[in-house]
Each structure stands twice: as C-alpha cells, then as structure tokens.
Amino acid sequence: AQSVTQLDSQVPVFEEAPVELRCNYSSSVSVYLFWYVQYPNQGLQLLLKYLSGSTLVKGINGFEAEFNKSQTSFHLRKPSVHISDTAEYFCALGGTAGNKLTFGGGTRVLVKP
C-alpha cells in the first residue's frame, strides 16, 4: 500500500523569507512524486515532478524539491516567497498500475507581509 504524509498542516511565513514543506512517503513499488498547488476554489496545478534521474528537481514559480530515497522524503522549498504563494500545497505519489495518485493531507501556506 502507498501512503503520503505531509508533516505540517499549516505553515505561516513572512514575505521574502524561505519556506520548506515536508513530505514523506511509503511505497513498495516504483516511486513517482509530485507537488501540486491549489488556490482557493480551484483545481490543482502541477508545480514539479520526480520520475527518475537527478534528485533535485526544479519547478515553476521558483520552487524546487529534493528526492531522498533513504529518508523516503520529497520536501518542497522556495528561497523567497511572495504573497501570491499563499495557497494549499499537496504532495502526491504515483507508481501503481494506472498511476492513480495518492495525496497527502496538504499544507496550507500563509504568506504574511
């Protein structure tokens, strides 16, 4: 069985400060990892993905994530956040037949001026 744990339900952060959102996963099959962002009353937008290769992946809007197999983690980082980064962020795990995604519970980021 697959599972995803996002360790922080809410992360308040000041504008222009760095932010890290933590994600741990459990899987017995091939691992494909994703981060999605969801703005209020909208669908999910793909930020970045890890399929194979380099463990440091860069995404849109200045976000990056590092895949760590030994720690079964895929933490998301941004060196300097903007007010517009206020949203909910979801870590997701694929790799089963049909590649349905298993999502974490989400981390709500609130950027303060």
Partner 1 sequence: DTGVSQDPRHKITKRGQNVTFRCDPISEHNRLYWYRQTLGQGPEFLTYFQNEAQLEKSRLLSDRFSAERPKGSFSTLEIQRTEQGDSAMYLCASSPRQGAYEQYFGPGTRLTVT
- Applying CB under 8 A, which residues contact partner 1? 4, 32, 34, 36, 41-46, 49, 51, 90, 92, 94-95, 97-106
Least separation in angstroms between residue 77's CB and partner 1 is 20
Chain-centroid distance of CA 54 in Å reads 17
Least separation in angstroms between residue 63's CB and partner 1 is 15
SS (H, E, C) 34-92: EEEEECCCCCEEEEEEECCCCCEEECHHHCEEEEECCCCEEEEEECCCCHHHCEEEEEE
Report the residue number, 98 or 113, with the smaller CB distance to partner 1. Answer: 98
Least separation in angstroms between residue 53's CB and partner 1 is 13
